[in-house]
Structure 1
């Protein structure tokens, strides 16, 4: 059963509250296109209160030992696990993804918290050998300060938890600007931390006009670090604002992931894994496999089998137990995808299956496969961010690698091959931040997660991630 959907409030200095003016924004269920609740809208004064609280929370949190911080974070992870069912129901209502995908996202978030809770206990410094007797040289790591984190609607908890967990592990406080389309799930994530005993001010949550919030928080004197997940154009804008303030930023931006399928690939494995990965969350995933670059000898067979597997998927409300694909998350996505498909077919691409909206209630779109899209088509250059797979044929490995590297994006990629020399070429020559070969193995807590070039910089996973939230302080002492 769908639970009652709550109105969502700001969380500032340990208190759930409305914005100063009482303004709200409607939250819409994408499966029904009906309003199900509201979310509070922050004013500049609210943002100032949040930043002041974060500065105070930072003074408290940074003085707690890594062991104490780790224990509180682990307690929050356990609360999330205990609350999977009610939170998953909220997420599916506001975002649309199938209920099981919502459950998986929440459980994965708890794992991320656990991993960073332990990583925060290993922010080691250095003792540097001196050139003369009686001198001690030390470099130690200090938390950078309050963090402003900006998160998207496609993974309401997963994207927020990556920023919150690493900030807290490093000893930083954090203000999360979460998505207005999907506010209740991230609010429940913050509630788990608060209920676990994280002190007031250490975590803040705000909603409102995105441009107004980002400009205000990035420029605020209390904020010392920026983290953003979203589109490349917005990311470049925010990186510029951060640069003007000399504030470091982590940017996880858009992608257009190639999938290189060599002639000797195991097609059962490739199709079995990639169809599900392509259409999870209705394709609204920054690392979603999008451009399938298939070597000529297996092209026809690959397309035929991929289409059969695609047509076996069920598109339905996320609460339907048979649903594999829910609705698109907002009304903007359908015309955006339709425009990309119209442009592609006008230039010679062929829609093999799908390509249309389903019904008139909610924002459902059929899982779509197109072939023979020319590189001039918009869909070959712009991230579709929807349930569309582009499958094109290539004569050899050289041309596949050339196409994989043609765009300025460099987030994720996938490859299938048996020949070791081919695999080594894919790993060495495809210019991306992440590659998964012969399986789906990205986005685990202990692995780096991030891109290069127009897909951003920095990582939100693995042992390197915490360094972006730490300053190095050096001292040389002569006895």
Structure 2
């Protein structure tokens, strides 16, 4: 892939990958660049038959793959990591073309995706069991950790590389085989990763990628008795339906669902650090991340100073096509996402919010919206009740710690939260009091392969990344031995 351009068929893989072979069909789905609306290529719109074939391929490959030593699997995962990093520039250009994020962010995502391959290559050799003191003198109790089996994974469009490896790497490290359904909006990065995996030595059938409309493929992946584990990243509403479908065969399920993260700035915060933290959390990937700040609460004593500093920083962001030159923010993924952002902003303005920066669709062919800061947003506005998934920071003024904790926890989501304070006692109280799976304390960036990623309440089940992420793909088997 080194040196390949976007028109190179070796980079734009326009076929699914099942059992080590390319697979096409009779119908196709066009994939467009959200920065200009141009068609990048097409993917086969495969359905239930192809999904069943992929499950069968994964099932057939399972005995040999799980039979390898952990070290042997680790060596292959490490080679996959190396191939990804060798192809980092080309993968980043592909990712930017289909997803829209700035090229520098895309390069960062490729490195982040590779980090999961490296991490779980190392963790593969640490799937430790236990020996438990026997309950009788002539009994010995052992706990073995074994792969769950065939894993079905469904990944979203906003991080088309990292969400793939965050699921596939621990599954393969544990000894499982995988059928992946990537988003039809951003499939090319996943297909490129699958080919790199094959080049690295991942055997045929161990990692399969099925493309097409979600419904028929999803019905197979959730309903097949040969799929032992289902893992999904996406919206809460879709996650609930998929999890319910999985219960027909009582699969293990892990879900990383929607967020509505509060970002809290107290009077004693370092305001410069808080502004930079919000810039990183809110405007990365055009606000299209599940952990991005969605509700911004600023204590009354520093509200106006914080708002002015934030608006000045936001006004300086460069918006444009990441492949056309240096940019800080790209387009939204499609017209529907753009319409949702416009609706949220309009409703907030009707409710009395003030525009400090942006608040308008940008001209041109792409799905661009100006980075936006609103002040005096009502706590009950849509922008605070729903996940906006766009480049809009709506500021809400608060007075007391108890008040802001109540506001922050007044949601069924519980993925991430952010707090800026220099008070040690408050740091503990608020971090412990927030109903979220992850808390950024004086930082706006919390994602790393070494720490568990996941939420509480309706933001999901299970954890990804870290040593805890490997456990999601392992079963604990008790062996009671009479001696």
The TM-score by the shorter chain falls in which range?
Answer: over 0.9
The secondary structure found in structure 2 opposite 1:364 is: coil
Q: CA deviation at 1:2?
A: 5.7
Q: Check whether the contact 2:294–2:383 (CA below 8 A) recurs between aligned residues.
A: no
Deviation per CA, 1:56-114: give whole Å up to 9, x if none: 11112100110000000000000000001111111111111111111110111111111
What's the C-alpha RMSD, in Å, of the aligned pairs?
A: 1.3
Q: CA deviation at 1:288?
A: 0.5
Q: How many residues align?
A: 477
Q: CA deviation at 1:7?
A: 4.8
Give 1:124's match in structure 2, choosing from 128, 133, 140: 128
Q: Check whether the contact 2:320–2:329 (CA below 8 A) recurs between aligned residues.
A: yes
Deviation per CA, 1:312-341: give whole Å up to 9, x if none: 100011124320001111121111111111
Structure 2: stretches of 5+ with no match in the other structure = none
Q: Check whether the contact 1:443–1:461 (CA below 8 A) recurs between aligned residues.
A: no
The secondary structure found in structure 2 opposite 1:357 is: coil
Give 1:4's match in structure 2, choosing from 7, 14, 30: 7
Matched, 1:470 2:474: yes
Aligned to 1:83: 87
Aligned to 1:244: 248
Runs of 4+ in 1 over 6 A off after TM superposition: none
The secondary structure found in structure 2 opposite 1:413 is: strand
Aligned to 2:296: 292
The secondary structure found in structure 2 opposite 1:472 is: strand
Q: Check whether the contact 1:277–1:289 (CA below 8 A) recurs between aligned residues.
A: yes
What is the 5 A alignment of 1:45-444? 45-444=49-448
Matched, 1:454 2:481: no
Q: CA deviation at 1:441?
A: 4.2
The secondary structure found in structure 1 opposite 2:464 is: coil
The secondary structure found in structure 1 opposite 2:326 is: coil
Q: CA deviation at 1:274?
A: 1.6
Q: Check whether the contact 2:357–2:371 (CA below 8 A) recurs between aligned residues.
A: yes
Q: CA deviation at 1:135?
A: 2.3
State the distance in 1 between where 2:135 and 2:260 align: 51
State the distance in 2 between where 1:84 and 1:368 align: 31
State the distance in 2 between where 1:36 and 1:154 align: 17
The secondary structure found in structure 1 opposite 2:436 is: coil
Deviation per CA, 1:3-45: give whole Å up to 9, x if none: 31625211000112213xx211000011111212101111211
The secondary structure found in structure 1 opposite 2:301 is: helix
The secondary structure found in structure 2 opposite 1:201 is: coil
